[in-house]
Structures are given as structure tokens and as C-alpha cells.
């Protein structure tokens, strides 16, 4: 490196800093000036500044070249580019605008000549001209940056990298001729001894002296190649995000900035699509141990990401995730392949010869199939090449053929911490399964630093977010829809509103209310709705309710988990559960229709839950917020045997019989209960016992009995004659209930008993609902107000049954029961992914 000038040694730590600015940091004159301030050399140090074209300029040049090659009119586009550079020059150059404009115009004139020649050039010549045209943006931005830094008077030289960077295409991409480049640089340095240099990114020259480029987004690579040639001590790539993030922030808004990465981690992330770094960026630095920082030019006070040999140990074994889009799977199958040596060799040789590069390989241990993932545009070519190579084997039947599947992408999880750490793949697969993502192929590099899976392109965002959350990198996001903003729904929304922030912070679960519906209206929101005000969105202006559209919106493709909370009492809504659960939407409800309705529909719902990996939770259908179903489930899951369930399952009927002591007629109490809002508007809905029977059916099914409503012997407290009357008339004739009820009370008392409304399920499966005379020591005789009580008699709790008792009605406690289920699902998602409570 004799050509590198001997630099002042006063600050050895900052001997030569190389800064690279991407197009995003050079959008206009203001941004270029800000970049120049960031690149100002440290005291006693020297700077090399590598620039990309101004934002959008390369795209414009590529388009312009295509127009010119096709014989179209490229002059308006050429003028627009010149005007854009002029505009920036006027804002930047200050006193020496003339020189800068002249320099830019010389570049523009060369571009003009190249574009003019393109239409008439041979194929080879056209390619060479195009390479020159594509690099024009960097030539101009380097002049602009040079001026912004003060130009020659401030000690800055401007380097056209085509004068020094000698590269040639090779089997594995662009290869730099380091010796030739160093020699060219030495010659250039002899003519440009300034301490500081502004260099063009992206462009280079071939060994025979033609202009070329390093490929789209290649300026990162230019920067590190030049860092090596200039013997830089450190490189900073300035961009428009805070550093390398744990995933593409446009797909995962919760992505976090990684403070440090090893070279190997950075390579893997870049190779698998992290656009912030060009895949070839790292190699020139790794060879020399030069550290690289990725920093935000818009927020220079943030520290960014440091990339060096050590990296940093992180909490999660996976540091980051990335996606390569537009991929395809090629699968060679055949029973005659097992144990035959050389199959893989033939396959990959065929792909190699066809110029198809392979991103991922996976082979079943049975050797029955080999599958590889390639770029979609190369896939058909790849298939033809493999079919050709195996033509004899296909004709002979040893190989079935080559299957091609497109519409895929590859998701890669990357981290040094994965090496030797168990359960990483399991966590990834589990996270993806939870988010309903089907995996087409899997590969793990022998380095164990990367696990890649091929998945459907349509699942990309959802998969990325689910995997991101699965590795503790962000909270689990659940897309939530609430149906039925009546009393229970409203109470639930209020409860949600209070807890959502804490849940996100402490449990790592982000419940995002995105849809709300009543029986007639619905509102679907892209951003999270505020639970406190969501109900107000259901005014007349809201859309008509369409449950399928509602569910499709909740099950957003980009969010990993979906949940519908049905607070309606509608059978039409319950009829949708099967579809929703099968589609992977968790369902939580206090609606009894699904659990107690038609048995075959119920069985299908249970089955759909399994297919969809979803959960169906309905604790609030029985006993509102009381832990009734969970208790029963725990008893059975721990191996206990159920002998009987006795319960007071209606808060209304409990209140009536708790209050009915003969001092007031029964009808008086019914009227009072109605006035207090304890009964349904038509008290017969409670007195018929049907609602209680539904709850008993739900409990029986939970206990594994295939019971239906018709199997329950239900005693209605409404005399036959009053059942079909209009409500008014029924209420007028309510006193007809009194004499028979008083007689039952007297008879019970004569035996030292009292009356309660009881639901009972016997061991043999008999189920009944009605008024029973119970001894004074029965648990149901010791209830208050609207208490519900459920008594489980089991093998373990035989002598002294297990009792669950407490308020079993009212919007607040019912909503709390629903909320408990919502939380159970949310916590399971958090726990499944290993999230720790803070
Ligand atoms: N893992 C990631 N970390 C950071 N940024 C990423 C990642 N994946 C994709 N990106 C995207 O890369 C963009 C920066 O890359 P690029 O367009 O090459 O910038 P520049 O123009 O500065 O060279 C960011 O704006 C970001 O949206
Ligand atoms: N200007 C070139 C090279 C480059 O790397 O640009 P950027 O740093 O803005 O990604 C391109 O757009 O491909």
C-alpha cells in the first residue's frame, strides 16, 4: 500500500474512516449537505466517502437506457436528470457553482452521447454502453458531495472508481482483481495526494478497461472493496434506518435495531434478503478484520449496528430474520433413487450447467426425493436441465420426474447463538404453525447459524411476524374482532382497554382490536381500534354486517394470530365458528348456541379446532366468570371420574328461589326480578328452564357425554296455558304461578326441605332441569342473591363434592369470564414462544 499517503498519527483510532451514503441519504441538496457534515474527517484523521446515486436516479437511468435501446425518445428523461443535478448543485456549491455545473454538464454530455449510440449498437456494445449509462448517477453525486465537502480547497479529491476498481465476472459473481486495483490506486494516488477522497460507488472497470457496475445496490460492496484498498480502519454505511434491524421494518413494524452482529451473521442476513446490506459487502472487511457500522443518517445520534469478528451474544439464539422473495421449489422424486450414488451430483451439475443458482437444498433421509429452492425466473430452465440429465432414469421409471412449485419465498432465521442451542428449529416451526404457515422445505446450514424454510409467498409477512415474535424479538400480535357490543361486549371492551398496554409490556402479547360488529353493522379497521370508542363506530354510516368479510379481515394475512370474540347470543354467528376455527381463528364466546346446539354441528366445531390449530373457549357460557368449565376439565384431565353434576345455573332462578320463603307470592318476586333487570325482558325465557338446560348440555359435552337439548328432561315453570300468550297477557296472568308454587314450598317444608332450581347430570348420562326440594344441609341451600353454584361429585370428591360458587350473572362478571379466555389464549401464545414476564 505504498501509494496510500502517510497519514497524521495524532489520532490512531481514527486514522482513515470510510463513509458510504446510499441513495436514501442523498435524496436532495439538503440531505447531501447533512451527509457531508457526518463525513467530515475527525481531527487528524482522513476520510474516504463513497456515494451512491441520488435516490431514484439509477432506476431512472435503467429506464432511460431501455427507452434509448428501443429507439424511443430519451431526451425528456435525460433533461430531467440534468435538471435534478443542476438544482442540487445550485443549492450546494455556494461560490463555485460554475465549476460544479461544468463538471456535471461534462457527465451529462457523456451520458447524452451514450444514450444516442445505444439504438444502433451491437449487443455487446449496447451492454457496455448500458453499464456506463447506469453508473452516471454516481458520477454526478460524487461531484455534488465533493462540492458539499468543500472540494479541492478543503483537501478533497474526487475518485471515479472506474479508474481504480478492476473487477471481472466469475462463476460465483463479481470478483475484484485486488492486485490490479491496488496498482491503479497507487497511480491515482500519485496524481491525487489529498488526504480526503470522495469516490463513486457502484461503478468499476473490467480488466480490459470497460466501464461496468457491481450490480444493483452494489455501492455497499464498493465501499468495502475501497475500504480494503485504502486500508481503512473503520467503515460506516449511512442509510435511512437505525442499523441492521431484526427484520425488514416495512414488513415487521416491531423490528428492533441489533446493536452488534458478527461478520457471519451479517453475511447470512444479507444473503437471505436483508436489503440494508448487499450480500457481498462483508467479505472484503472480514478478510482484514475491519469493523463496519450501519447507521442512520437521519438520526446520527443513534449508535447503529456494529459488525465485526466478535459480534455479541444476545438473549435470543436468533438475531434476525429475512425473506428472499420470488422463489420456486424443484423436486426430483423416485423410488429408484434411494442408495444410488451420484444422484445429487448429477442434479446440481445440471443446474450449474444451466446457470441456475441454488439457494436451499433439502433431501429426505429416505433419499426418495431431493428438493432444492431456486429463483423463480430460473426455475423452468432448471427443471428442463434436470429432466434432460435424468431422461434415461425417467424413461426407465427409476425417477418419477421433476416437480416445479412456484409462488414461494424463503424465510431465514439467523444467529450465531443457534450454534449448539437446542429447540431453535422447534420454536420456529411451532411459531409458524401457530400462524397457519405451511412449510414446503427446510434446510439448516451445517454451521447451524441459519435455518431456512420455503413457504408460500402469500404467507411471507405473517410468517415473518410470527417467527419474529417466536424468538422474543417482538410481542405476539393477535388480530381481534368483537361481535355484539351489547352489555357484555361493552364491558369486555372496557376491560380490554385497561389491560392491553400492560399485556403488551409484561406478557409480550399485543391484542389488536381490528374489527367490531353488531347484528346489522360492522367496522373494519386497518390500524388498531380504541376499545373505549370502538362501539361508536357502529352508527348508521358503518358497513352492513357481513360475517365472512368480518372474519377475513380479522384473519389478516400479515398478522400471525387471529381471534373472534362473539358476545352475541346469535345462532347465525355460532354457525360460523366451524369455518373460523378451521381457518385458524381462535373463537371465544359466552354464546351458548354452539356448545348446546345440534350435536353434529358441535362435533364439526371440535374437529375444526384440530384442523385449524385454533382454540375454542367458552367458559362464560356457564356461571359467567366462575371457573366452572376449567374446573371440570382439570378434574377429568387429571384422571378423576365424574359421578354427577348438580348446579344452580341461572342467576335469575337462583334469586327467585333464594327469595321465595312464602311471605310474598312467587309472581311478586318474578315482577321484582324483572324490574331489577335480572330476568330477560320476557321472564318465560328464564322460567322455561331452557337456558339452564343449554348450560347443562355444555357441561355434559365437556364431560364427554354426547348430550343434546332434546335429551334433557326440562320442567318449565310456566304453565302450559301461559306459554304461547303475548307478553302483556302473560304478565297480567302471572299470579297463576302462585298457588302451585306455594303448594310445592309447603310440601318441601313439611319434610324440612327448601326449594331450589336445579340442573342435574347423572353418572349414566340422565339430565334434568327443574325445581327440587333439597335438605337444609345441601350446598345449594346456602347461596345468596344471584349466586350460581356447581357441585361436581367425582370419584375423588365423592363424600364431599367439589363446589364452585359465586355471582353467576351480570355483564361485568360475564365479560370477565370471556376476558379470562382471551387471556388464556394470549398467554399460551406468549408462553409457547418462551416470553418471560418482566
Ligand atoms: N433487516 C433489515 N434491517 C434494516 N433495514 C432493512 C432490513 N431489511 C430491509 N431493510 C430495508 O432496507 C432499507 C435500506 O436499504 P437501501 O435501500 O439499500 O438503503 P441505501 O439507499 O441507504 O443504500 C431500509 O430503508 C429498510 O426498509
Ligand atoms: N445506485 C445503485 C447502487 C446502490 O447501491 O444504491 P443504494 O446504495 O442507494 O442502494 C442502485 O440503485 O442500484
Q: What pLDDT score does 171 carry? A: 59
Domain membership flag for residue 728: yes
H/E stretch holding 412 reads strand 401-414
The domain tally of the chain equals 4
Closest alpha carbon to 277 in 258, 252, 303: 258
Closest alpha carbon to 292 in 319, 258, 328: 258
Domain membership flag for residue 313: no
- Rg of the Cα trace of the chain? 37
Contact 563, 476 (CB under 8 A): no
Nearest CA to ligand 2 atom 3: 217
Where residue 726 sits, what CATH number does that domain have? Answer: 3.30.360.10
Domain membership flag for residue 669: yes
Domain membership flag for residue 247: no
Establish whether residue 219 lines the binding site of ligand 2, counting it when its CB lies within 6 angstroms of any ligand atom: yes
Q: Which of 453, 470, 487 is where one domain is finished?
A: 470
3-state per-residue secondary structure call for 656-706: HHHHCCCCCCHHHHHHHHHHCCCCCCCCHHHHCCHHHHHHHHHHHHHCCCC
Q: Examine the domain organization and report whether 576 and 682 are in the same domain.
A: no
Q: Examine the domain organization and report whether 699 and 552 are in the same domain.
A: no
Q: Examine the domain organization and report whether 658 and 579 are in the same domain.
A: no
Q: Examine the domain organization and report whether 49 and 166 are in the same domain.
A: yes
Establish whether residue 90 lines the binding site of ligand 1, counting it when its CB lies within 6 angstroms of any ligand atom: no
Establish whether residue 244 lines the binding site of ligand 1, counting it when its CB lies within 6 angstroms of any ligand atom: yes
**Please, what's the b/e burial string for 614-639 (b: 16 or more CB within 10 A of its CB; e: otherwise)?**
bbbbbbbbbbbbbbbbbbbeebbeee
Q: Examine the domain organization and report whether 448 and 521 are in the same domain.
A: no
Grid cell locating 436: 397457519
Q: What pLDDT score does 365 carry? A: 59
Q: Examine the domain organization and report whether 579 and 642 are in the same domain.
A: no
Question: Ligand 2 center to residue 342 CA distance, Å?
Answer: 42
Q: Which ligand number lies closest to the CA of residue 246?
A: 1
Contact 440, 408 (CB under 8 A): yes
Average pLDDT of every residue of the chain:
91
Q: Examine the domain organization and report whether 91 and 126 are in the same domain.
A: yes
665 vs 279 pLDDT, higher one = 665
Q: What pLDDT score does 45 carry? A: 87
Question: Dihedral through CA 796, CA 800, CA 804, CA 808, nearest 10?
Answer: 140
Where residue 168 sits, what CATH number does that domain have? Answer: 3.40.1160.10
Domain membership flag for residue 289: no
**Please, what's the b/e burial string for 236-259 (b: 16 or more CB within 10 A of its CB; e: otherwise)?**
bbbbbbbbbbbbbeebbebbbbbe
* CA of 214, closest atom in ligand 2: 3
Task: Find the farthest-apart pair of alpha carbons in the chain and give their distance in angstroms, rounded.
Answer: 120
Q: Examine the domain organization and report whether 615 and 658 are in the same domain.
A: no
Q: Examine the domain organization and report whether 617 and 750 are in the same domain.
A: no
Give backbone dihedrals phi and psi of 166, rounded to 5 degrees, phi first: -100, 120
Give the span between the Cα atoms of 158 and 51, in whole angstroms.
11
pLDDT at 489 over 90: yes
User: How does residue 831 score in pLDDT terms, banded at 50, 70 and 90?
Assistant: low
Establish whether residue 218 lines the binding site of ligand 2, counting it when its CB lies within 6 angstroms of any ligand atom: yes
Establish whether residue 247 lines the binding site of ligand 1, counting it when its CB lies within 6 angstroms of any ligand atom: yes
Which structural domain range is residue 416 located in? 320-470
Question: Ligand 2 center to residue 654 CA distance, Å?
Answer: 74
* Of 205-219, 251-265, 601-615, the least confident: 251-265
Where residue 392 sits, what CATH number does that domain have? Answer: 3.30.2130.10
Closest alpha carbon to 385 in 422, 430, 414, 352: 352
Q: Which of 208, 238, 268 is where one domain is finished?
A: 238
Q: Which ligand number lies closest to the CA of residue 250?
A: 1
Share in percent of the chain as helix, strand, coil (round to 5): 45, 20, 35
In degrees, rounded to 5, the angle at the alpha carbon of residue 826 between the alpha carbons of residues 821 and 827 is 95
Q: Examine the domain organization and report whether 121 and 137 are in the same domain.
A: yes
pLDDT at 834 over 50: no
pTM of the model: 0.71
Q: Examine the domain organization and report whether 453 and 489 are in the same domain.
A: no
Domain membership flag for residue 204: yes
Domain membership flag for residue 4: no
* Of 172-186, 291-305, 371-385, 819-833, the least confident: 819-833
Domain membership flag for residue 171: yes
Nearest CA to ligand 2 atom 9: 23
User: How does residue 411 score in pLDDT terms, banded at 50, 70 and 90?
Assistant: very high
Question: Which one of 49, 235, 276 would you pick to mutate in the ligand 1 pocket, going by the greatest count of ligand atoms within 8 A of its CB?
Answer: 276
Q: Examine the domain organization and report whether 36 and 145 are in the same domain.
A: yes
Where residue 596 sits, what CATH number does that domain have? Answer: 3.40.50.720
Q: What pLDDT score does 680 carry? A: 84
Active site residues: 695
ipTM, two decimals, is 0.96
Output DSSP code: residue 504.
I
What is the average pLDDT across 102-109? Answer: 98
Nearest CA to ligand 1 atom 15: 276
Amino acid at each position: 500500500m505504498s501509494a496510500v499517503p502517510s497519514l497524521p498519527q495524532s489520532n490512531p483510532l481514527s486514522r482513515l474512516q470510510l463513509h458510504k451514503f446510499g441513495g436514501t441519504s442523498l435524496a436532495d441538496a439538503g440531505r447531501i449537505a447533512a451527509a457531508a457534515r457526518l463525513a467530515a474527517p475527525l481531527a487528524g484523521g482522513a476520510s474516504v466517502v463513497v456515494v451512491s446515486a441520488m435516490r431514484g436516479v439509477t432506476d431512472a437511468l435503467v429506464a432511460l437506457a431501455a427507452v434509448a435501446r428501443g429507439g424511443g425518445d430519451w431526451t425528456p428523461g435525460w433533461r430531467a436528470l440534468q435538471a435534478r443535478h443542476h438544482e442540487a448543485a445550485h443549492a450546494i456549491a455556494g461560490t463555485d457553482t460554475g465549476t460544479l455545473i461544468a463538471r456535471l454538464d461534462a457527465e451529462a454530455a457523456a451520458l447524452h452521447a451514450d444514450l444516442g449510440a445505444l439504438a444502433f449498437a451491437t449487443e455487446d456494445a449496447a451492454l457496455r454502453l448500458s453499464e456506463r449509462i447506469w453508473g452516471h448517477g454516481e458520477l454526478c453525486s460524487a461531484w455534488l458531495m465533493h462540492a458539499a465537502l468543500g472540494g479541492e480547497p478543503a483537501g478533497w479529491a474526487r475518485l471515479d472508481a472506474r479508474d481504480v476498481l478492476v473487477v471481472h465476472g466469475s462463476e460465483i459473481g463479481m470478483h475484484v482483481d485486488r492486485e490490479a486495483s491496488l496498482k491503479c490506486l497507487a497511480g491515482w494516488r500519485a496524481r491525487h495526494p489529498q488526504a480526503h477522497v470522495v469516490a463513486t460507488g457502484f461503478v468499476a472497470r473490467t480488466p480490459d478497461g470497460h466501464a461496468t457496475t457491481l450490480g444493483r445496490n452494489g455501492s455497499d460492496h464498493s465501499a468495502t472493496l475501497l475500504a480494503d484498498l485504502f486500508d481503512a480502519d473503520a467503515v460506516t454505511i449511512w442509510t435511512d434506518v437505525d442499523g441492521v434491524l431484526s427484520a425488514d421494518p416495512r414488513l415487521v413494524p416491531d423490528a428492533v435495531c441489533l446493536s452488534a452482529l458478527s461478520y457471519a451473521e451479517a453475511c447470512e442476513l444479507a444473503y437471505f434478503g436483508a436489503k440494508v446490506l448487499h450480500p457481498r459487502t462483508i467479505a472484503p472487511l472480514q478478510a482484514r478484520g475491519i469493523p463496519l457500522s450501519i447507521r442512520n443518517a437521519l438520526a446520527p445520534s443513534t449508535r447503529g449496528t456494529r459488525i465485526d469478528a466478535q459480534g455479541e451474544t444476545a438473549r435470543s439464539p436468533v438475531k434476525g430474520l429475512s425473506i428472499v422473495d420470488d422463489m420456486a421449489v424443484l423436486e426430483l422424486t423416485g423410488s429408484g433413487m434411494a442408495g444410488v450414488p451420484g444422484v445429487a451430483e448429477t442434479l446440481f451439475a445440471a443446474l450449474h450447467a444451466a446457470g441456475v443458482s441454488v439457494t436451499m437444498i433439502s433431501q429426505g433421509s429416505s433419499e426418495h426425493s431431493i428438493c432444492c429452492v431456486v429463483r423463480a425466473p430460473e426455475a423452468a430452465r432448471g427443471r428442463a436441465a434436470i429432466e434432460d440429465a435424468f431422461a434415461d432414469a425417467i424413461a426407465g421409471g427409476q425417477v418419477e420426474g421433476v416437480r416445479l412449485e412456484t409462488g414461494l419465498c424463503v424465510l431465514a432465521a439467523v444467529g450465531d447463538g443457534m450454534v449448539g442451542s437446542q429447540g431453535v428449529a422447534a420454536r420456529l416451526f411451532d411459531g409458524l404453525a401457530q400462524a397457519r404457515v405451511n412449510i414446503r422445505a427446510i434446510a439448516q446450514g451445517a454451521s447451524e447459524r441459519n435455518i431456512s424454510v420455503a413457504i408460500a409467498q402469500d404467507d411471507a409477512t405473517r410468517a415473518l411476524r410470527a417467527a419474529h415474535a417466536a424468538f422474543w424479538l417482538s410481542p405476539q400480535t393477535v388480530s381481534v374482532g368483537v361481535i355484539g357490543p351489547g352489555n357484555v361486549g361493552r364491558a369486555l371492551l372496557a376491560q380490554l382497554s385497561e389491560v392491553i398496554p400492560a399485556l403488551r409490556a409484561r406478557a409480550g402479547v399485543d391484542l389488536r382490536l381490528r374489527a367490531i360488529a353488531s347484528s346489522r353493522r360492522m367496522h373494519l379497521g386497518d390500524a388498531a381500534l380504541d376499545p373505549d370508542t370502538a362501539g361508536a363506530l357502529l352508527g348508521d354510516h358503518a358497513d352492513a354486517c357481513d360475517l365472512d368479510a368480518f372474519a377475513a379481515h380479522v384473519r389478516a394475512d400479515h398478522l400471525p394470530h387471529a381471534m373472534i370474540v362473539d358476545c352475541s347470543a346469535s345462532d347465525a354467528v355460532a354457525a360460523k365458528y366451524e369455518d373460523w376455527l378451521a381457518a385458524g381463528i381462535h373463537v371465544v364466546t359466552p354464546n351458548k348456541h354452539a356448545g348446546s346446539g345440534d350435536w353434529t354441528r358441535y362435533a364439526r366445531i371440535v374437529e375444526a379446532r384440530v384442523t385449524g390449530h385454533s382454540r375454542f373457549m367458552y367458559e362464560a357460557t356457564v356461571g359467567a366468570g366462575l371457573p366452572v368449565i376449567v374446573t371440570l376439565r382439570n378434574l377429568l384431565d387429571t384422571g378423576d371420574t365424574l359421578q354427577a353434576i348438580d348446579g344452580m345455573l341461572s342467576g335469575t332462578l337462583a334469586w327467585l328461589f333464594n327469595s321465595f320463603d312464602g311471605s310474598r307470592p312467587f309472581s311478586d318476586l318474578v315482577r321484582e326480578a324483572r324490574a331489577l333487570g335480572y330476568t330477560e325482558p320476557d321472564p318465560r325465557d328464564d322460567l322455561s328452564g331452557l337456558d339452564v338446560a343449554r348450560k347443562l348440555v355444555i357441561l355434559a359435552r365437556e364431560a364427554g357425554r354426547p348430550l343434546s337439548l332434546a335429551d334433557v328432561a326440562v320442567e318449565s315453570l310456566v304453565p302450559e296455558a301461559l306459554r304461547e300468550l303475548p307478553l302483556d297477557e302473560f304478565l297480567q296472568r302471572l299470579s297463576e304461578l302462585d298457588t302451585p308454587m306455594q303448594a310445592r314450598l309447603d310440601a318441601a317444608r313439611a319434610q324440612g326441605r327448601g326449594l331450589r332450581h336445579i340442573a342435574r347430570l347423572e353418572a349414566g348420562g340422565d339430565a334434568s332441569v327443574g325445581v327440587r326440594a333439597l335438605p337444609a344441609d345441601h350446598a345449594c341451600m346456602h347461596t345468596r342473591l344471584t349466586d350460581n353454584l356447581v357441585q361436581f361429585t367425582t370419584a375423588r370428591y365423592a363424600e364431599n363434592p367439589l363446589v364452585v360458587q359465586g355471582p353467576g350473572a351480570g355483564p361485568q362478571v360475564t365479560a370477565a369470564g370471556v376476558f379470562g379466555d382471551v387471556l388464556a389464549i394470549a398467554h399460551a401464545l406468549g408462553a409457547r414462544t418462551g416470553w418471560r414476564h418482566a
